[in-house]
Amino acid sequence: MACTSTFQFSVLISLVLVSFFLSVEGKLPQSCEQNECPTYTVIEAGNGYEIRKYDSPVWISTSPIQNQSLVEATRDGFIRLFNYAHGKNNDNKQIKLTAPVTSEVSFNGGKPSIVVSFFVPIDVQYNPPLADGLSVKRWKSKFVAVKQFGGFVTDSNVAKAVASLNASLGGTKRSFTSTKSFIIAQYDPPFKLSDRVNEVWFLSQ
């Protein structure tokens, strides 16, 4: 009887551990259960990274933000995009919030330029409202290398995530690089304090 109980307990512990690791490895951010997110297919899953094929998402983007840290630029860009979604656009139209908000960091002569973008909901992608200082970006189908990391985004943990994804991609057959640009995707609102999910993205060359 004791052996049976021990076996059942071991099985239960194993199931809990499997469930935990499935929940943290490549987990879909909780915000995508509540908000619309761009759709994709996982093409390859490696040690600490995924290769995804995104299905032509549409974004509303700020003009490039110069001379600011990633955190500052994302905050300022998000405020503009939040106001846009709440009707501060040429059509005075409110559209539902989505996830993620992305910050694309590009380098020109060593100086970063950051474009902050908001995923456009499917129901308005054909004809999204416009606004001064914002533009519509339509991706073609793209391959994206992705690594998730938690906590609040800081300039230091972004640098670590970029370096880690670079190292993880050493054996992949596809060509990705972070020397010219990378994207940080943030899925959670600022008031969420725990279980935050962020991602670093490299676009295929």
Reported as a single tens digit per residue, the pLDDT across 165-197 is 999 988 777 788 776 799 999 999 888 998 899
pLDDT digits (tens, 9 = 90+) for 77-88: 999 999 999 999
- Per-residue pLDDT for 26 more than 60? no
pTM, full prediction: 0.84
156 is a domain residue: yes
User: Structurally, how many domains does the chain consist of?
Assistant: 1
pLDDT, tens digit, 9 for 90 and up, residues 116-162: 999 999 999 999 999 999 999 999 999 999 999 999 999 899 999 99
User: Residue 78 is part of a domain; what is its CATH number?
Assistant: 3.20.80.10
Domain containing residue 84? 28-203
In a domain, 59, yes or no: yes
User: Does residue 88 belong to any structural domain of this protein?
Assistant: yes
Query: 10 in a domain, yes or no?
Result: no
Closest CA to 200 of 52, 33, 34, 37: 52
Q: Is residue 16 part of a domain?
A: no
- Is 94 within the bounds of a domain? yes
